[in-house]
Structure 1
Amino acid sequence: MRAVRRLLERIRRSWPEAAGDAGSAVLEFLALSVVLLVPLVYLVLVLGRVQAATFAAEGAARTAARAYVVADTPSQGAARAVASVGLALEDQGFDDDPDGALTLTCSSAPCLRPGSEVAARVDVLVPLPFVPAFVRSVVPLEVPVSAERTAAVDTYRAAP
Structure 2
Amino acid sequence: MTDTVNIGLEPEARQQTADALAKVLADTYTLYIKVQGFHWNVTGPQFNALHNMFEEQYIDLRDAADEIAERMRALGAACPGSFAQLLELTAIKEQTEIPSGTAMVKELLADHETVSRTAKAALQTAEQAGDDASGDMMVQRMQVHDKTAWMLRSMVA
Which structure: greater strand fraction? 1
TM-score range, shorter chain: 0.3 to 0.5
Q: State the TM-score, normalized to the length of structure 1.
A: 0.33
Q: Which has the higher contact order (CA 8 A, sep 6+)?
A: 2
Larger radius of gyration: 1
TM-score using structure 2 length: 0.33
